């Protein structure tokens, strides 16, 4: 079937390749026509994963063209432009066209999950899904065994996207906990920044394990507070993606943390990589949401302070380590 991928960054490119390899006719929307023309001419994306041959993929910068006769839409854009992107696609899809959200984050102005943004603009939540997991584009595009979870309030929608993506090297599990999957997707990027800072400061495996497990507790508390299932945090969208994002050389959020610890800035990171580190925005949106629901997120608050509030890195770490330990599973009762 024809499937449309909106976003030709590294993950969007890998997703287009995966769907093309599964035998689908893939329309890949690129922000600029020059990039789209290069993809069509060479079969490769000149900006991201440029050694990856894209079979069955046609690209265009025209929203109307890529959506013409499509049977499903996959959104892979930065979280900051999700609403604007969904508003652009709305006139060109039907009221029951399945839409999957692969972007990770929370809308800053409203505090809405990205699937809720889709529902607000498109209606019909039963055709909307969130997909998340430990899925580095660099490894998925090399057919390394990977897995993800697709969540929707409609199990039929979740199964539709499962069948669209699944192949022997890319396992897809289903869930109905959209809230939990999305909160995990946003929160784990913040913890990865903290792990990058930790590594750059010379701290070791014990510290990384501390940050990941207590970070998992933070995302679990927030998930419970918003009505999600805490068990989701132990799955692919939670612990799975947290591990991959915190330890991998491919992780842009970990790399951002390393740069910050070395005295660099968020602006420098963006200029160097031409990529968005979603954890930087999530440090604001996730902590704002936590304050609204009175949930403690000590690690996320420290990352926010370092990135956005000009707080001293060493002082923030000292403050974090000086916190009085509590009951380990505090706040995790479902």
**CB-based burial label for 326 (10 Å; 0-12, 13-18, 19+):** exposed
Nearest CA among 121, 113, 19, 31 for reference residue 70: 19
DSSP state of 80: G
Q: What span, in angstroms and rounded, lies between the C-alpha atoms of 12 and 5?
A: 7
Establish whether 88 is a catalytic residue. no
CA 279/CA 286 separation, integer angstroms: 9
Instruction: Please tell me which residue in 2, 41, 142, 188 is annotated as part of the active site.
Output: 188
C-alpha to C-alpha distance for 156 and 162, rounded to whole angstroms: 10
Order across the sheet with 2-6: list the strands.
Answer: 57-60, 25-29, 2-6, 72-75, 99-101, 128-132, 146-151, 170-175
**Angle CA 154–156–158, to nearest 5:** 75
Element (H, E) at 100: strand 99-101
CB 229 within 8 A of CB 293: no
Q: Which residues contact 81 (CB under 8 A, 6 or more apart)?
A: none
| Among candidate residues 269, 270, 268, 266, the one with its CA nearest the CA of residue 303 | 266
DSSP 91: G
For 247, counting Cβ atoms within 10 Å of its Cβ (0-12 exposed, 13-18 middle, 19+ buried), the class is middle
Active site residues: 188
């Amino acid at each position: 079937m024809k499937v449309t991928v909106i976003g030709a960054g590294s993950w969007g490119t890998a997703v287009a390749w995966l769907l093309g390899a599964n035998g689908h006719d893939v329309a890949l929307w690129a922000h600029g026509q020059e990039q789209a023309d290069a993809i069509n001419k060479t079969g490769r994306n000149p900006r991201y994963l440029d050694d990856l041959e894209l079979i069955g993929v046609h690209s265009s910068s025209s929203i109307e063209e890529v959506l013409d006769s499509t049977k499903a839409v996959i959104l892979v854009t930065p979280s900051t432009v999700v609403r604007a992107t969904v508003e652009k696609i709305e006139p060109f899809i039907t009221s029951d066209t399945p839409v999957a959200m692969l972007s990770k984050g929370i809308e800053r102005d409203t505090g809405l999950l990205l699937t809720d943004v889709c529902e607000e603009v498109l209606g019909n939540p039963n055709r909307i899904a969130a997909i998340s997991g430990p899925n580095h584009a660099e490894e998925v595009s090399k057919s390394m065994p990977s897995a993800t979870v697709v969540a929707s309030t409609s199990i039929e929608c979740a199964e539709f996207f499962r069948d669209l993506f699944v192949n022997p090297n890319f396992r897809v599990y289903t869930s109905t906990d959209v809230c939990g999957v999305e909160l995990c997707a946003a929160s784990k990027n913040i913890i990865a920044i903290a792990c990058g800072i930790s590594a750059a400061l010379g701290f070791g495996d014990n510290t990384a394990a501390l940050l990941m497990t207590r970070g998992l507790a933070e995302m679990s508390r927030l998930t419970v507070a918003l009505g999600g299932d805490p068990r989701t945090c132990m799955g692919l969208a939670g612990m799975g993606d947290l591990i991959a994002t915190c330890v991998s050389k491919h992780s842009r959020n970990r790399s951002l943390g390393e740069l910050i610890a070395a005295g660099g800035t968020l602006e420098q990171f963006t200029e160097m990589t031409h990529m968005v580190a979603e954890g930087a925005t999530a440090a604001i949106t996730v902590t704002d949401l936590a304050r609204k629901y009175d949930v403690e997120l000590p690690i996320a608050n420290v990352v926010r302070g370092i990135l956005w509030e000009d707080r001293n890195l060493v002082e923030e770490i000292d403050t974090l380590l000086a916190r009085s330990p509590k009951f380990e599973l505090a706040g995790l009762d479902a």
